[in-house]
């Protein structure tokens, strides 16, 4: 039987009262942003506890330069395979939607199968994401090598969340007290992937009850004063992570600098294709430089992704920018903080 909501409200109020000060927590996962809005979790929190959305929506944090490169490939007569969530993400001068040669896929294997069946065509899989998607990216690179798919390559913008957590923890502007850590990423990197964080963190699942429990554990951890990682999603997350997935990632990718929307260039904030797999690296194969990309005029997604601005504090929220007519990436993606807040009419406390 589920614990009644009144229990969580009372427990959270008691924990917040014991702290005796305001605290700022951040959920670091797009699925958490969506779930928090859907379940109305912010309305259950004491006034002194603020839950901010962070940079955990992979489609949102990929910079406009990635979309610019994918568009450039489409215009070079390359078949570019993408998942549907990238279609309406703004680049410097438009979106991928409507580009000739675009192929919307449901799995990376579809793109590889198409390449093998059409050896006369160049096929590029454009992919973004954190470690769970990265492990699928590693699997497809290994498969492409095995099938000797000479006309297949990967244009990727895979992100490493850990250096960004360290930057956010040290950010005197955002002034965070703790993190609700991403359960999906943790299923790959394990508790070990968050060791040594400067702020307390709780790895959380995605049900309302699990998230409320995680917030309670986080308040208790802050009260106890020690940065520590608590695993509140043990049915999925192991201490050392998914060793098979980590080995595959290690085989195909290495950490490197990456451009994050809202965070700028983050050293070690991305995963780059290893030189051994360079023949499958579309950026090298097609000599695609990273140009100086522009954000849409008036868009404040960068501040939203840093937790410096609540979605409804952006002047365009619900006016010039809606899910039907999005201006920024955070309103496009189903896991974007602005889209979630708009859909569930969430108002910042």
Nearest Cα residue to 186 out of 273, 338, 56, 306: 56
Distance of CA 23 to the CA centre of its chain: 23
- The tokens for 26 are 């951040």
Binding mask 126-145 for ligand SF4 (x = CB under 6 A): --------------------
CB of 211 or CB of 299, closer to ligand SF4: 299
Cβ(262)–Cβ(314) under 8 Å? no
The least CB distance from residue 88 to ligand SF4, in Å, is 11
Cβ(250)–Cβ(277) under 8 Å? no
- The interface with ligand SF4 within residues 158-197 (CB under 6 A) comprises none
In sequence order, what E strands does the chain have?
23-27, 49-53, 79-82, 102-104, 123-129, 152-159, 178-182, 201-204, 229-231, 253-260, 264-273
The least CB distance from residue 328 to ligand SF4, in Å, is 2
- The tokens for 212 are 């409320």
Between CA 10 and CA 19 the distance in angstroms is 14
The least CB distance from residue 167 to ligand SF4, in Å, is 20
The least CB distance from residue 127 to ligand SF4, in Å, is 22
Q: Which stretch binds ligand SF4 (CB under 6 A): 202-210, 225-233, 241-249, 294-302?
A: 294-302
Question: Which residue, chain included where needed, has tokens 């997604």?
Answer: 301
| Eight-class DSSP state of 280 | G
Q: Which residues contact 157 (CB under 8 A, 6 or more apart)?
A: 62, 63, 66, 127, 128, 258, 270
Q: Which stretch binds ligand SF4 (CB under 6 A): 45-53, 145-153, 216-224, 295-303?
A: 295-303
The least CB distance from residue 300 to ligand SF4, in Å, is 4
CB of 94 or CB of 267, closer to ligand SF4: 94
CB of 58 or CB of 190, closer to ligand SF4: 58
The least CB distance from residue 333 to ligand SF4, in Å, is 9
Question: Which residue, chain included where needed, has tokens 């840093």?
Answer: 306
Binding mask 297-336 for ligand SF4 (x = CB under 6 A): --xxx--x------x--x-xx---x-----xx-xx-----
Between CA 89 and CA 339 the distance in angstroms is 13
The least CB distance from residue 338 to ligand SF4, in Å, is 3
Number of residues that bind ligand SF4 (CB under 6 A): 14
Burial of 285 (0-12, 13-18, 19+ CB in 10 A): middle
- The tokens for 73 are 């490939």
Binding mask 99-118 for ligand SF4 (x = CB under 6 A): --------------------
CB of 267 or CB of 315, closer to ligand SF4: 315
The least CB distance from residue 60 to ligand SF4, in Å, is 8
Nearest Cα residue to 59 out of 295, 261, 304: 261
CB of 65 or CB of 311, closer to ligand SF4: 311
Q: How many CA atoms lie within 13 A of 22 on its CB side?
A: 8
CB of 300 or CB of 306, closer to ligand SF4: 300
Residues that bind ligand SF4 (CB under 6 A): 299-301, 304, 311, 314, 316-317, 321, 327-328, 330-331, 338
């Amino acid at each position: 039987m589920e614990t009644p909501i009144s229990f969580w409200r009372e427990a959270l109020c008691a924990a917040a009262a014991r702290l005796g000060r305001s605290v700022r927590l951040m959920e670091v996962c797009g699925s958490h942003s969506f779930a928090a809005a859907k379940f109305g979790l912010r309305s259950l929190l004491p006034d002194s506890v603020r839950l901010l959305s962070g940079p955990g929506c992979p489609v949102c944090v990929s910079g406009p330069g990635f979309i610019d490169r994918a568009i450039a490939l489409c215009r070079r007569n390359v078949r570019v395979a993408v998942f549907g969530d990238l279609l309406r993400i703004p680049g410097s001068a438009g979106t991928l939607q409507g580009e000739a040669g675009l192929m919307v896929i449901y799995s990376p294997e579809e793109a590889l199968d198409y390449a093998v069946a059409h050896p006369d065509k160049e096929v590029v899989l454009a992919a973004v994401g954190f470690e769970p998607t990265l492990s699928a990216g590693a699997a497809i690179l290994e498969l492409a090598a095995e099938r000797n798919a000479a006309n297949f390559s990967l244009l990727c913008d895979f992100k490493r969340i850990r250096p960004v957590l360290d930057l956010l923890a040290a950010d005197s502007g955002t002034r965070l007290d703790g993190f609700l850590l991403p359960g999906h990423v943790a299923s790959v990197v394990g508790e070990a992937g968050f060791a040594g964080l400067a702020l307390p963190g709780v790895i959380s699942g995605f049900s309302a009850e699990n998230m409320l429990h995680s917030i309670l554990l986080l308040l208790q951890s802050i009260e106890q004063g020690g940065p520590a990682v608590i695993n509140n999603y043990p049915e999925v997350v192991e201490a050392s992570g998914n060793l098979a997935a980590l080995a595959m990632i290690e085989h195909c990718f290495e950490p490197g600098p990456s451009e994050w929307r809202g965070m700028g260039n983050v050293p070690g904030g991305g995963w780059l294709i290893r030189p051994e797999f360079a023949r499958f690296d579309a950026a090298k194969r097609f000599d695609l430089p990273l140009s100086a990309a522009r954000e849409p005029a008036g868009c404040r997604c960068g501040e939203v992704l840093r937790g410096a601005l609540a979605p409804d504090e952006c002047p365009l929220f619900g006016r010039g920018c809606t899910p039907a007519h999005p201006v920024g990436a955070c309103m496009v993606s189903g896991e974007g903080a602005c889209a979630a807040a708009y859909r569930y009419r969430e108002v910042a406390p």
